[in-house]
Protein backbone atom coordinates (compact mmCIF):
# COMPACT_ATOMS: atom_id res chain seq x y z
CA UNK A 1 0.00 0.00 0.00
CA UNK A 2 1.29 3.48 -0.83
CA UNK A 3 0.08 6.73 0.71
CA UNK A 4 1.52 9.68 -1.23
CA UNK A 5 1.64 13.42 -0.57
CA UNK A 6 3.70 16.59 -0.88
CA UNK A 7 5.11 18.16 2.26
CA UNK A 8 5.89 21.83 2.84
CA UNK A 9 9.39 21.48 1.34
CA UNK A 10 7.99 20.26 -2.02
CA UNK A 11 9.27 16.78 -1.32
CA UNK A 12 7.10 13.86 -2.34
CA UNK A 13 6.50 11.55 0.65
CA UNK A 14 5.12 8.00 0.61
CA UNK A 15 4.41 5.20 3.03
CA UNK A 16 4.89 1.79 1.43
CA UNK A 17 4.02 -1.53 3.03
CA UNK A 18 3.59 -5.13 2.01
CA UNK A 19 4.23 -8.74 2.84
CA UNK A 20 5.39 -11.86 1.05
CA UNK A 21 5.33 -15.53 2.01
CA UNK A 22 8.66 -17.17 1.17
CA UNK A 23 9.03 -20.94 1.00
CA UNK A 24 12.21 -21.02 3.06
CA UNK A 25 13.03 -21.09 6.76
CA UNK A 26 13.51 -17.81 8.61
CA UNK A 27 17.26 -18.16 9.25
CA UNK A 28 17.86 -18.78 5.54
CA UNK A 29 15.80 -15.71 4.59
CA UNK A 30 17.68 -13.63 7.20
CA UNK A 31 21.02 -14.75 5.77
CA UNK A 32 19.97 -13.74 2.25
CA UNK A 33 18.63 -10.35 3.41
CA UNK A 34 22.12 -9.62 4.72
CA UNK A 35 24.00 -10.89 1.64
CA UNK A 36 25.20 -8.03 -0.61
CA UNK A 37 25.33 -10.28 -3.71
CA UNK A 38 21.68 -11.27 -3.25
CA UNK A 39 20.61 -7.69 -2.52
CA UNK A 40 22.40 -6.46 -5.68
CA UNK A 41 20.46 -9.00 -7.79
CA UNK A 42 17.17 -7.87 -6.23
CA UNK A 43 17.52 -4.07 -6.36
CA UNK A 44 16.10 -2.90 -9.70
CA UNK A 45 18.74 -1.07 -11.74
CA UNK A 46 21.54 -1.80 -9.26
CA UNK A 47 24.89 -1.43 -11.00
CA UNK A 48 27.03 -1.80 -7.88
CA UNK A 49 26.62 -2.55 -4.20
CA UNK A 50 29.79 -2.40 -2.13
CA UNK A 51 29.89 -3.43 1.50
CA UNK A 52 31.80 -0.88 3.61
CA UNK A 53 31.23 -2.66 6.93
CA UNK A 54 28.97 -5.50 8.08
CA UNK A 55 26.01 -3.09 8.19
CA UNK A 56 26.78 -0.34 5.65
CA UNK A 57 26.81 -0.33 1.86
CA UNK A 58 27.50 2.08 -1.00
CA UNK A 59 25.24 1.67 -4.03
CA UNK A 60 24.84 2.92 -7.58
CA UNK A 61 21.37 2.46 -9.09
CA UNK A 62 20.04 3.56 -12.47
CA UNK A 63 16.26 4.00 -12.62
CA UNK A 64 13.80 5.07 -15.28
CA UNK A 65 10.68 6.71 -13.91
CA UNK A 66 8.40 7.86 -16.71
CA UNK A 67 10.43 9.92 -19.15
CA UNK A 68 13.28 10.46 -16.67
CA UNK A 69 16.29 8.17 -16.35
CA UNK A 70 18.62 8.94 -13.48
CA UNK A 71 21.68 7.45 -11.83
CA UNK A 72 21.62 7.53 -8.03
CA UNK A 73 24.65 7.16 -5.78
CA UNK A 74 23.85 6.49 -2.17
CA UNK A 75 24.43 4.86 1.17
CA UNK A 76 22.47 2.12 2.89
CA UNK A 77 22.64 1.10 6.54
CA UNK A 78 21.15 -1.89 8.37
CA UNK A 79 20.15 -0.97 11.95
CA UNK A 80 18.38 -2.40 14.98
CA UNK A 81 19.19 -5.97 13.95
CA UNK A 82 17.44 -8.70 15.94
CA UNK A 83 18.63 -12.07 14.58
CA UNK A 84 16.77 -13.70 12.81
CA UNK A 85 13.55 -11.73 13.03
CA UNK A 86 13.93 -8.03 12.17
CA UNK A 87 15.98 -5.04 11.16
CA UNK A 88 15.62 -1.49 9.93
CA UNK A 89 17.15 -0.46 6.63
CA UNK A 90 17.84 3.22 5.95
CA UNK A 91 19.20 4.81 2.84
CA UNK A 92 19.55 7.92 0.78
CA UNK A 93 20.74 8.58 -2.72
CA UNK A 94 21.45 11.58 -4.90
CA UNK A 95 20.66 11.66 -8.58
CA UNK A 96 22.18 14.97 -9.65
CA UNK A 97 19.65 17.24 -11.37
CA UNK A 98 17.04 14.46 -11.12
CA UNK A 99 16.89 14.98 -7.37
CA UNK A 100 17.20 12.72 -4.36
CA UNK A 101 15.52 9.79 -2.67
CA UNK A 102 15.66 8.71 0.95
CA UNK A 103 13.84 6.14 2.98
CA UNK A 104 13.62 3.96 6.03
CA UNK A 105 12.03 0.51 6.27
CA UNK A 106 11.25 -1.89 9.10
CA UNK A 107 11.57 -5.50 7.94
CA UNK A 108 10.13 -8.35 10.01
CA UNK A 109 10.41 -12.10 9.43
CA UNK A 110 7.76 -14.37 10.93
CA UNK A 111 7.80 -18.18 10.77
CA UNK A 112 4.65 -19.46 9.10
CA UNK A 113 3.69 -22.97 7.93
CA UNK A 114 7.28 -24.08 7.33
CA UNK A 115 8.11 -20.87 5.49
CA UNK A 116 8.72 -17.24 6.35
CA UNK A 117 6.41 -14.26 6.05
CA UNK A 118 8.40 -11.12 5.25
CA UNK A 119 6.55 -7.95 6.31
CA UNK A 120 7.83 -4.46 5.55
CA UNK A 121 6.71 -0.93 6.36
CA UNK A 122 8.65 1.90 4.77
CA UNK A 123 8.55 5.62 4.32
CA UNK A 124 10.22 7.32 1.40
CA UNK A 125 10.92 10.88 0.36
CA UNK A 126 11.69 12.15 -3.14
CA UNK A 127 12.83 15.66 -4.05
CA UNK A 128 13.88 17.57 -7.11
CA UNK A 129 12.72 16.95 -10.67
CA UNK A 130 11.77 13.36 -9.97
CA UNK A 131 9.22 14.54 -7.39
CA UNK A 132 7.64 16.82 -9.99
CA UNK A 133 6.68 13.97 -12.35
CA UNK A 134 3.26 13.62 -10.77
CA UNK A 135 1.85 11.54 -7.98
CA UNK A 136 0.35 8.77 -10.14
CA UNK A 137 3.58 8.16 -12.04
CA UNK A 138 5.75 8.23 -8.91
CA UNK A 139 3.28 6.02 -7.04
CA UNK A 140 3.01 3.41 -9.81
CA UNK A 141 6.79 3.40 -10.32
CA UNK A 142 7.41 2.93 -6.59
CA UNK A 143 4.93 0.06 -6.44
CA UNK A 144 6.56 -1.57 -9.46
CA UNK A 145 10.09 -1.23 -8.01
CA UNK A 146 9.08 -2.68 -4.62
CA UNK A 147 7.30 -5.58 -6.37
CA UNK A 148 10.36 -6.28 -8.56
CA UNK A 149 12.64 -6.32 -5.53
CA UNK A 150 10.50 -8.69 -3.48
CA UNK A 151 9.50 -10.95 -6.39
CA UNK A 152 13.19 -11.43 -7.23
CA UNK A 153 14.14 -11.90 -3.57
CA UNK A 154 11.37 -14.48 -2.99
CA UNK A 155 12.40 -16.39 -6.12
CA UNK A 156 16.07 -16.50 -5.05
CA UNK A 157 15.21 -17.47 -1.45
CA UNK A 158 12.82 -20.23 -2.56
CA UNK A 159 15.28 -21.63 -5.15
CA UNK A 160 18.21 -21.68 -2.76
CA UNK A 161 16.08 -23.33 -0.06
CA UNK A 162 15.33 -26.28 -2.32
CA UNK A 163 18.94 -26.82 -3.47
- What is the per-residue pLDDT for 163? 47
- As a whole number of angstroms, the distance between CA 63 and CA 138 comes to 12
Q: How far is CA 135 from the centre of its chain?
A: 19
15-25 pLDDT, tens digit per residue, is 888 999 999 99
Q: Is residue 106 part of a domain?
A: yes
Number of H helices, E strands in the chain: 3, 8
Provide the domain limits for residue 106.
17-162
Q: Considering the domain boundaries, does residue 4 fall inside one?
A: no
150 domain-assigned: yes
- Comparing CA positions, the residue from 149, 19, 137, 161 lying closest to residue 67 is 137
Q: Judge whether 151 lies within some domain.
A: yes
* Within-domain flag for 37: yes
Residue 144 inside a domain? The answer is: yes
CA dist 53 and 143 (Å) reads 30
pLDDT of residue 1: 42
Q: In total, how many domains does the chain have?
A: 1
**Cα→Cα distances 151→10, 22, 118, 126, 156, Å:** 32, 10, 12, 23, 9
User: What pLDDT, on the 0 to 100 scale, is given for residue 50?
Assistant: 95
Residue 69: the pLDDT is 87
pLDDT tens-digit series, residues 121-144? 988 888 888 878 777 777 777 778
CATH of residue 156's domain is 3.30.530.20
Q: Where are the alpha helices (DSSP H) in 3-134?
A: 26-33, 36-42
pLDDT at 4: 47
Predicted local confidence at residue 97, as pLDDT: 87
CA pair distance 34, 15, nearest whole angstrom: 23
- Determine, yes or no, domain membership for 12: no
pLDDT at res. 144: 82
- pLDDT per position in the chain (163 positions), as tens? 444 454 435 577 888 889 999 999 999 999 999 999 999 999 989 999 999 999 999 999 998 887 888 899 999 999 999 999 999 999 899 998 888 888 888 999 999 999 999 999 988 888 888 878 777 777 777 778 888 888 899 999 988 766 4
7 falls within a domain:
no
Amino acid sequence: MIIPGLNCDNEYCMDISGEHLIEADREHVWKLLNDPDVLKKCIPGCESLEQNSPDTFRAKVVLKIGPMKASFNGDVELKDKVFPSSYRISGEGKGGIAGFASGDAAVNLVEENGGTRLVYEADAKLGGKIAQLGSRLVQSSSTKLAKQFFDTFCEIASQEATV
